[in-house]
Chain A
Amino acid sequence: MINIQSGIPGFDQLTVSELTEGGIPEKSTTLIYGPPKTGKSIFCNQFTYNGLSNQEPCLYVSTDQGYKQVQRDMTDFQWLIQNYIQNQTIYFIDGISHLSGGKFENKNNIVSSSVSNPADLMVKVGIGTRNVYKTSNHFRSILDSLNTLFAFNPDQMVIKILKAYLRRITEAGGTGLIAYTEGITDPKTENELKSLFNNTIRLDGQHIHIKSDHPDFDEVQYFESTYTITDNGIVVNENNFKNIN
C-alpha cells in the first residue's frame, strides 16, 4: 500500500505504524468529521494544496462555499492556488454559488452545479474525474461538505449521491476526502455514512482521532493526538501521539 502526504505537519508522523509508513492511504476514502468549526475545511484545503504543490491534480467539489470564497480562505493561509487554477491542475465544481444570484460563467475547469440537483452534480463529477484522470491517474478528490447536501436533499438521497461519488472517484484512482459536520443528521444516518469510508478522522477542536480500516489489512488501526490551528493551517502536536493498536 502506498501512502500520500497529507500536508498536515505531524499527521504523517502520527499515522506511522508497523503496517504503514504514515500519511493518507492512496486511493482510499476518508471522512473527516466533528463538531462545527473544528478545522475540517482547513484540513481539506491543506490536503488539497499539498497535492497541488506536488503536481497531484485535485477534483474539488465545493457545496458550502463558492469557489471565490474557497480561494480566499486558502489565501488566508498563504495557500495560493491561482496558478493551479490557470494551469488546470485543479478542477473545481461549485455547487452553491448559484444561490447568491449572479450568473456563473463556466470555465474549462471551474463549473457550476447545484446542491439541489444531484443528477447534474454527478454529471459534473463524471466530467471532472475524467479531466483530472487524464492528467494523472492519482489525484485527490475533495467534497466539502455533505452539510449543504443534507440541507437540500432527503438524508437517504445524500447517501445515494455519496455512494455514486465515491464509486466514481475510487474507480478512477482518486484519494477521497469528504467533510461532514457531526450532528446534522440522525445517529443512524451518521453511522451509515461512516461505514462507507475506509478511514475516518474526527476533529473536536482539541483532539484528532484517526481510524483506518484498509482492506489490505486485517486489523483496524487507531491513532490519536492533539492539534492546533495556526496561521499556517493545522498542526498535529507530536508530543501527544498515541497509537492505540
Chain B
Amino acid sequence: MIPCIESGIPGFDELTRSNDGTGGIPENTATLIYGPAKTGKSIFTNQFTYKGLTNDEPCLYITTDNGYKQFKNTMEEFNWPIEEYIDNNSLYLIDTISDISKGKPSQSESFIQSYINNPTDIMVKIGSGVHYIYKNNPRFRSVIDSATTLLAYNENMLIIRVLKAYLMRVNEAGGTPIIVYTQDTADSIIETMSKSMVDNIIRVDGEKLYIEAMKGIERRSSPYQITDNGIVIK
C-alpha cells in the first residue's frame, strides 16, 4: 500500500484512488506539475500548501515568481489566509524575488530572503529550511513555484542539478515536494530531465488535468475548473 497525503483539491483524491483505497499525493514522493501558462498550476500548489498547513503539516515554500506580498494576497483571494502560519513558523518561505521589487519585508525565523540568480544561495537556504522544518515535523510538504523562473535566470543544467539536490534533501527528510513548471519554456532535454527526476507527473491544460504518471496507479484524467475556492475536479 502506498500511503498518500490529502491534496486539498476537491475531487483529486478521488481521481487518484488506487485499488487499495488510498488517494491523494503519495507521501514522500516527488511531483512535477506542468502545463501552459495560466492553467492553474500555482493555484494547485497553493491549495496543496494550504491543506497541509491546516492539517499541521508544515510547508517549505520556495517562491520565484511572486514576492511574499503577492503570494499572500493570492492566497487570500481564495480565502486561504496564511498569516497565522507565517507567525507560528509552520510556513517556511524562501522568497527569491522580492528584492527585485521595492518594499522588501524583513526576514524572520521562517521568512528567508534569497536571490533568483544565485542557486547556490537558494540551496543553502533550502538546506537550513529542510532542517528547520524537519526538526518540528518530519511530515511536511514543499513547493517550488516555479522551476521555470529558475531556469530563465540560470544555466539550465545547473538548475537540473540543483533541483535534483533539492528533491534528494526533501525526500531524505521525509517531505513531499512539488515542482511547478510551465510547459515549453525550456528546451526539450531539460523538460524531459525534469520529468525523469520525479515520481509523479501532473499536467493541466486549462480544461483537463492529466495524471501522466503516479506511483501506484495508471494514467488518468478528468476535467477541472478554477473556482473562487480554487481548483475543483469534476
Contacts and interface: CB of A to CB of B under 8 A. Distances in A.
The reply, when asked whether chain A contacts chain B directly with Cβ atoms under 8 A, is yes
Mostly, the B contact residues are helix
A150 B169 CA distance: 20
Contacts of B192: 35-36, 181-184
B157 interface: yes
A100 B127 CA distance: 9
Interface string B157-175: 1001100110011011000
A101 interface: yes
Nearest to B28: A72
Contacts, number: 69
B100 interface: no
A37 interface: yes
B121 to A, nearest CB: 16
Contacts of B197: 64, 147
Contact of B164 (A35, A148, A183): A148
Contact of B172 (A101, A148, A183): A101
Interface in A188-231: 205, 228-229, 231
Contact of B157 (A145, A151, A181): A151
Interface of A: 35-37, 64, 66, 69, 76, 96-97, 99-102, 145, 147-148, 150-152, 181-186, 205, 228-229, 231
Given A36-B195, A100-B171, A102-B172, 13 more contacts: A35-B192, A35-B195, A36-B192, A37-B195, A37-B201, A37-B213, A66-B168, A97-B172, A99-B165, A99-B169, A147-B196, A181-B193, A182-B192
